[in-house]
């Protein structure tokens, strides 16, 4: 009888062990499922938030604080709270055309310049761009309050050569600075140290991250791009004529 009893008890223990093992596995699987479900929902929430943040960043405007940090001199009233920013590239023919045929005559009119702050910024796509050197030089010239004179000279320099690589050499850029009586040694040092290169590339990346289909020239009014109705849709535009530019500024001033 004892053997039979011991045998029965041993089977009961084995069955109990098996039962507890099965229960343990079920508990572990349940915890894993709940854990994965929770973190999947959390990840989906994070992804949704990231997608929304990305969508927000891709809106057709830039953070106005971004404009307050521009180091280049502007023209007009810096305290007006109305920032007209032209995004440009010295190597771009359309940027040159826009400056000569629209921006320069606009500044000469003196109609609305005392109501705004007109400033230039640059979109340099990569460090190998021939436009990087004159852009760095423009920042250096700004240290001597000669940005606009230098800026004008760079576009004039571009017109003298068939290729921008030939126009934007270090020698030509330094000679331009000399013609403006900028201190040569300090200017050369500013260029050789690439003092503003990181800032220029950072700002270019900001534009590219913030907007889709971005090109030069572009004009921003307190961060919002100037647009025209094209094929029934408002689209950012580039080198618009002087009359259209004046109308855009006039309409903007009426509501700002």
- Put simply, whether the predicted model's pTM sits higher than 0.85 gets the answer no
Query: Is the pLDDT at 203 greater than 80, yes or no?
Result: yes
Closest CA to 58 of 210, 214, 203, 213: 210
| Residue ranges per structural domain of the chain | 1-57, 64-255
User: What average pLDDT does this structure show over 137-163?
Assistant: 94
Percent of the chain with pLDDT over 70: 73
Strand order in the sheet with 83-88: 75-76, 117-122, 83-88, 218-221, 224-225
Q: Which CATH class is domain 64-255?
A: alpha beta
Q: What is the pLDDT of residues 151-183, one digit of tens each?
A: 999 999 999 999 999 999 999 999 999 999 999
Q: Measuring CA to CA, how many Å separate 37 from each of 25, 33, 42, 46, 47?
A: 18, 6, 9, 14, 15
């Amino acid at each position: 009888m004892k053997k039979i009893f011991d045998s029965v008890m041993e089977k009961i223990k084995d069955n109990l062990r098996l039962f507890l093992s099965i229960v343990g596995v079920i508990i572990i699987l349940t915890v894993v499922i709940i854990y994965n479900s929770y973190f999947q929902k959390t990840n989906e929430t994070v992804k949704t938030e990231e997608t929304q943040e990305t969508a927000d960043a891709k809106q057709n405007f830039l953070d106005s604080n971004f404009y307050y940090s521009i180091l280049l001199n502007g023209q007009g009233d810096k305290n007006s709270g109305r920032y007209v920013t032209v995004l440009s590239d010295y190597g771009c023919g359309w940027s040159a055309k826009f400056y000569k045929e629209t921006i320069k005559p606009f500044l000469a009119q003196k109609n609305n310049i005392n109501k705004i702050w007109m400033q230039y910024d640059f979109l340099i796509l990569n460090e190998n761009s021939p436009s990087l050197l004159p852009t760095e030089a423009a920042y250096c010239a700004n240290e001597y309050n000669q940005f606009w004179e230098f800026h004008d000279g760079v576009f004039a320099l571009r017109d003298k050569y068939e290729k921008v690589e030939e126009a934007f050499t270090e020698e030509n850029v330094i000679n331009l600075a000399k013609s403006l009586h900028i201190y040569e040694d300090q200017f050369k040092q500013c260029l050789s140290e690439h003092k503003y290169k990181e800032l220029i590339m950072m700002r270019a990346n900001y534009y590219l991250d913030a907007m889709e289909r971005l090109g030069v020239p572009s004009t921003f009014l307190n961060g919002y791009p100037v647009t025209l109705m094209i094929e029934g849709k408002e689209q950012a535009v580039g080198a618009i004529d002087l009359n259209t530019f004046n109308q855009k500024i006039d309409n903007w001033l009426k509501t700002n």
